[in-house]
Each structure stands twice: as structure tokens, then as C-alpha cells.
């Protein structure tokens, strides 16, 4: 019951299960100020069969970085509006940013007005909303105990704990009402329950709990008129809630949204909204890779500091919170120059038909998984992940393996004909260790490797792309180690040839609203024609990805 009182007013409908990403599920996003990007998108649409109407030009700066404010105004609202106007909000599951679209979002610079707004909401949450919720939940528990002396209220404060307490109490009351035979007593309990629900869920909550059934045929005209007025008021509130939130950067709209929720949706949803707007306005650690942030296109107010869990990760199968907003996949077709990007596109299409061939090169560092003194640490865990990938390739895959487990990275010009690469750790210092096969895929685990793709730098992402890799990933700033896909997961899924590059990345990357982005054709499936690894040879945790119940790659929009 409380879960319903806390739920968002706009239902977000999941799309039917997908059997793999297809061209008609893409929206190509270009910068209107960069003609080369528009030309690349048109070329990509032709060779991949993306519907011509599914290309959107935005007015954006041509620099690597866009301000937080401009991202909020000039990226999110027009993409949302375009998808809704074209009827694509349930169809498009992957956004593709092209050469010329900024790479990263600057941190939010909180203004004095925003600081005052945030602090005012914090006071209201603490001084008004939370006490009202606590009183409403206590009243629900009192009524539940009155009806069932065996009922034992739970303990705990905070929005989540209060929601669980309300849920338990309201469910107990509803159970008691179903078996109550004294009609006068029943009417009295319903009146008391309606007063509680009015506080916790507002007029919408009362309607959902009591009023959604129309009067019986032949009921008095006044009763029907009142019922119609209440229904119209609730539907109007829901429509307004659905129409708000697209301009979360606008303080006037934030205020309108707060007033709407306060007056219609009760203290639970109003408190949730306040928490969301407070978190949205917090300025610390809000820089991000644009593509990684854009995955949350359909999310409303959510915490911008640091990261969110990627609900498309295979480990989240069956764990996605009920009512959570849908999430997009995002990929980038970008590189040192337009010619490189065009070559990436054409090579990916050609190699996909023929099948990627060459060696798998894995470069671990000999770090014990347990770390010093047997204590588990991130470095050892990731190093062991590379070793697990190496053992899987050695024992099960069709491709030759070159594996190094010594601290230093491979030296310049060490290995030829490299099809797949994963290694570490040379921070911001790309080493041209390999000659890559056409269509090669690979990434290097290190910080700051994608601070720019266009300006001269020694980052690994730019270096790998210049040397012939067509699909990679990397961070625009310090991501912390746990933000990278686990190498054994990424490499194993890639070698099956059953998932596109976008799906491989989004099935394995742990975080959104953070620092790492994927570069390459999202539809590229390098081992589609000649899989290098059988599904039955995957570890148990990965085989489940290919079961019928877990085939869906994303959830679409409202």
C-alpha cells in the first residue's frame, strides 16, 4: 500500500523483451555546429539502415566540455521532446553521439539562489514533511493495533523505513476490513483510514484506495457528479505531473512541481520529490562523461554527485527496483578526426560480415587477488579478472592468446595481429605496443584516458583509435577502479558474437552518471559471423544472460 503511495504518478512502461539491439532502435545525435558529425551520422544511417528520421541535431558547443547547465537545457529536454513527438519513446533504446558532440559535462556550479532553495527544502523536509509522515504512520499503526492487537509496529525512521512501516500497517488494516461484519464499525474505520491515506498519499492516494470505482448504476445524480469531479481532479494532477520535470534546471518549474505534489500526492511523494530536488542541486562530484549521464535521459530528479548503479548490468537482472525509471544505452562514434570515425564505421560493417580474426592479448600485473596480507583489494580483484579472462580464452576460445602477468605493460611493437586487447596500467601514457587487426576491440584500465579525443594527448583511448582499434572505452576523469567493466565479463561476452558492442558494454559496465564512456559502432558484433566462444563455455553467471527470461537489453520510456 505504501509502495503505491510513494510511486511516481507517471507509469513508466517497459518495452517488450528485445532479442538484440537493431538499427531502428537507435537515435543518432549530432551537433548542428559540426557539419562533419552530421555527415558521419548520415553515412552511418545509410550503411546500417537507421531510419533517416531518427537523426537529431542539437545546438551545442564544439568544445570537449559542456556546462552542467547547458547539458540540462540543451541536451536532455530536446531529446526527450523529439522522441515523444516522433512516437519513438518506446522504440529507441540506444542513443549514439557523434563527432562534435561534447565529450564531458562540467561540474555543477551552485548559485546562491540554488543554495538558498536547497537549504529551504532541507528545512521543510526536516521540520514539516518528516514530522507529518511520522504522525501519519503512527496513526496508521494505532489503527492497525486497534483492529488487530497482535500487530507489532516496526521500528525505524527515514523515508524508506517509514514507507515499510506504513505498508505493514495499511496492509493489516485492509485485511481487517475484508473480514469486518459490523457495517457501522466498518464505515468508521474507513473514515479513519481515509484520513491517514489523505496525509500519506494525498487526494490521489485517497482516490486510488477508495474512489476509483464509479457509483452504482442508478445512484443519485449528486453522488455521480462528485465522483466525476474527483476523478477529473486526479487525472488533471497526473497529467500535470507528467508534463513537469522536463525542465528540471528551471527554478520556477521546480517550484510548480513541489506545489503540485504537496497539494495532490501526499507527504510520501512530496518528501521523495524534495529529496530528489535536494540531491539534484548538490554540486559536489557532479562532473561526468556526457554519454554515461545521458543513459538516464528519462530519469527525473536524481542525485548527481558521483554515480548511479547501472540497472542494465547483467548482475542487476531481477533486481531492478519496482517503479524505477527506464534507462537507455548510449554509445559514441567519435575519434581524433572525421576520417578516423568514417573508417571505424566502414571497418566495423565489413569485419562484422567476415568475422574478426587475430590474437587476444591480455596484460595483467601479477597482483595477488587477496592483496597484501591476504586482504582483498580492488587492484588484485581486477588483476585476477584479467587472469580469469586469459584462462577462459586459453581453455575454451578459438583464438590464439598472448598473456603477460608481469608488472610492466607490453613494450612498443611487441605483438602483431591483435584482435582483442585488455590490460593495464600506464596512466595517461599510451604505449603503441601492438599492430591491430582490422576491426580490433580493446580497452586499457587507467584513469584520465579519454580527457579528449580530438586534441593531442597521450590517453589510451585516442591512441588505440589512431592505431586502428574501432571499439573501446575510457574515462573522461578519475573514475575509480570499480567503474570499469570486469575484463573477464567484457571479453567473454564479446567473444560469443551474440551481443552488439553496445550490449556488451552496458551488460558489464557498473555505473551510470559517472566518468566512463564507450566509443564505437553500437551495432558492431565482431564475432557474429564466426563466434570465438560458445555460450555453454561461459561461466554460470554469464550464461543466464542468454536465457529467454533475461534477453531484454533495456527498458524503454514512458
Cell of 89: 519513446
Q: Residue 241 has what pLDDT?
A: 92
Q: Residue 229 has what pLDDT?
A: 87
What distance in Å separates the CA atoms of residue 117 and residue 282, rounded to the nearest whole number? Answer: 11
Q: Residue 553 has what pLDDT?
A: 41
Q: Residue 224 has what pLDDT?
A: 76
Cell of 450: 579519454
Which of 199, 193, 187 shows the shortest CA–CA distance to 172? 193
Specify the CATH number for 346-550; select among 2.50.20, 3.10.10, 3.40.50, 3.10.20: 3.40.50
> At which residue does the C-alpha cell 583511448 appear?
461
Q: What is the pLDDT along the chain (558 residues), one digit of tens a residue?
A: 455 555 554 433 333 334 599 999 999 999 999 999 999 999 999 999 999 999 999 999 999 999 999 999 999 999 999 999 999 999 999 999 999 999 999 999 999 999 999 999 999 999 999 999 999 999 999 999 999 999 999 889 889 999 999 999 999 999 998 888 899 998 899 999 999 999 999 999 999 888 666 655 555 677 778 888 888 999 999 999 988 888 999 999 999 999 999 999 999 999 999 999 999 999 999 999 999 999 999 999 999 999 999 999 999 987 877 777 899 999 999 999 999 999 999 999 999 999 999 999 999 999 998 755 555 678 999 999 999 999 999 999 999 999 999 999 999 999 999 999 999 999 999 999 999 999 999 999 999 999 999 999 999 999 999 999 999 999 999 999 999 999 999 999 999 999 999 999 999 999 999 999 999 999 999 999 999 999 999 999 999 999 754 444 434 344
What distance in Å separates the CA atoms of residue 532 and residue 493, rounded to the nearest whole number? Answer: 10
Sign of torsion over alpha carbons 271, 276, 280, 286:
positive
Q: Residue 321 has what pLDDT?
A: 73
Cell of 181: 461484519
Which of 261, 10, 34 shows the shortest CA–CA distance to 125? 261
Per domain, the residue ranges of the chain are 24-110+287-329, 114-243, 346-550
> DSSP string of 91-146?
T--EEEEETTS-SEEPPP---HHHHHHHHHHHHHIIIIIHHHHHHHHHHHHHHHHH
Strands lying side by side in the sheet with 65-66:
65-66, 104-105, 288-289
Rounded to 5°, the CA angle 67-73-74 comes to 85
Cell of 551: 534477453
Pairing of strands 65-66, 104-105: parallel
> DSSP string of 289-325?
EHHHHHTTTT--S---SS-EE-TTSGGGTTTPPTTPP
Phi first, then psi: give them for residue 35, nearest 5 degrees. -60, -35
Q: Tens digits of per-residue pLDDT, 533-551?
A: 999 999 999 999 997 544 4
Length of the chain: 558
Instruction: Give the number of other CB atoms < 10 A from CB of residue 111.
Output: 13
Amino acid at each position: 500500500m505504501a509502495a503505491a503511495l510513494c510511486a511516481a504518478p507517471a507509469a513508466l512502461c517497459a518495452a517488450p523483451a528485445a532479442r538484440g539491439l537493431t538499427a531502428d532502435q537507435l537515435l543518432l545525435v549530432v551537433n548542428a555546429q559540426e557539419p562533419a558529425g552530421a555527415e558521419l551520422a548520415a553515412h552511418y544511417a545509410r550503411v546500417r539502415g537507421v531510419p533517416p528520421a531518427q537523426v537529431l541535431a542539437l545546438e551545442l558547443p564544439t568544445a570537449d566540455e559542456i556546462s552542467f547547465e547547458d547539458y540540462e537545457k540543451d541536451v536532455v529536454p530536446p531529446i526527450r521532446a523529439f522522441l515523444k513527438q516522433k512516437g519513438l519513446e518506446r522504440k529507441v533504446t540506444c542513443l549514439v553521439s557523434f563527432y562534435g558532440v561534447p565529450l564531458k559535462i562540467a561540474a555543477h556550479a551552485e548559485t546562491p539562489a540554488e543554495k538558498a532553495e536547497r537549504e529551504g527544502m532541507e528545512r521543510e523536509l526536516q521540520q514539516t514533511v518528516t514530522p507529518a509522515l511520522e504522525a501519519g504512520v503512527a496513526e496508521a499503526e494505532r489503527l492497525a493495533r486497534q483492529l488487530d492487537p497482535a500487530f507489532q509496529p516496526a521500528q525505524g525512521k527515514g523515508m524508506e523505513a517509514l514507507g515499510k512501516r506504513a505498508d505493514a500497517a495499511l496492509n493489516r488494516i485492509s485485511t481487517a476490513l475484508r473480514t469486518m461484519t459490523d457495517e457501522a464499525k466498518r464505515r468508521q474505520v474507513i473514515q479513519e483510514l481515509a484520513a491517514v491515506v489523505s496525509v500519506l498519499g494525498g487526494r490521489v492516494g485517497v482516490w486510488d484506495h477508495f474512489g476509483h470505482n464509479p457509483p452504482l448504476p442508478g445512484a443519485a445524480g449528486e453522488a455521480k457528479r462528485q465522483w466525476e469531479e474527483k476523478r477529473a481532479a486526479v487525472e488533471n494532477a497526473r497529467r500535470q505531473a507528467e508534463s513537469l520535470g522536463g525542465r528540471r534546471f528551471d527554478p520556477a518549474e521546480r517550484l510548480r512541481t513541489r506545489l503540485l505534489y504537496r497539494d495532490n500526492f501526499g507527504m510520501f511523494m512530496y518528501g521523495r520529490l524534495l529529496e530528489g530536488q535536494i540531491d539534484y542541486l548538490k554540486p559536489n562530484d557532479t562532473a561526468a562523461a556526457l554519454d554515461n549521464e545521458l543513459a538516464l535521459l528519462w530519469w527525473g530528479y536524481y542525485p548527481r554527485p558521483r554515480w548511479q548503479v547501472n540497472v542494465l548490468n547483467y548482475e542487476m537482472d531481477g533486481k531492478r527496483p519496482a517503479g524505477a525509471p527506464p534507462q537507455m544505452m548510449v554509445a559514441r562514434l567519435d575519434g581524433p578526426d572525421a576520417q578516423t570515425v568514417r573508417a571505424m564505421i566502414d571497418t566495423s560493417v565489413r569485419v562484422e560480415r567476415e568475422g574478426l580474426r587475430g590474437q587476444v592479448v591480455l596484460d595483467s600485473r601479477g597482483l595477488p587477488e587477496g592483496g597484501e596480507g591476504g586482504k582483498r583489494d580492488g587492484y588484485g580483484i581486477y588483476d585476477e579478472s584479467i587472469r580469469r579472462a586469459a584462462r577462459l580464452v586459453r581453455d575454451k576460445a578459438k583464438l590464439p592468446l598472448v598473456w603477460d602477468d608481469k608488472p610492466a605493460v607490453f613494450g612498443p611493437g611487441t605483438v602483431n595481429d591483435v584482435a582483442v586487447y585488455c590490460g593495464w596500467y600506464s596512466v595517461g601514457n599510451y604505449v603503441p605496443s601492438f599492430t591491430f587487426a582490422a576491426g580490433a576491440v580493446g580497452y586499457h584500465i587507467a584513469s584520465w584516458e579519454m580527457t579528449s579525443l580530438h586534441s593531442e594527448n597521450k590517453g589510451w583511448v585516442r591512441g588505440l583509435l589512431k592505431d586502428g582499434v574501432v571499439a573501446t572505452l575510457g574515462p573522461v576523469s578519475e573514475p575509480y577502479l570499480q567503474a570499469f567493466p570486469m575484463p573477464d565479463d567484457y571479453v567473454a561476452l564479446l567473444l560469443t558474437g551474440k551481443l552488439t558492442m553496445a550490449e556488451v558494454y552496458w551488460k558489464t559496465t557498473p555505473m551510470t552518471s559517472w566518468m566512463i564512456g564507450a566509443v564505437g559502432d553500437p551495432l558492431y558484433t565482431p564475432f557474429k559471423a564466426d563466434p570465438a566462444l560458445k555460450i555453454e563455455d561461459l561461466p554460470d553467471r554469464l550464461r543466464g544472460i542468454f536465457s529467454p527470461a533475461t534477453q531484454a537489453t533495456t527498458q524503454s520510456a514512458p
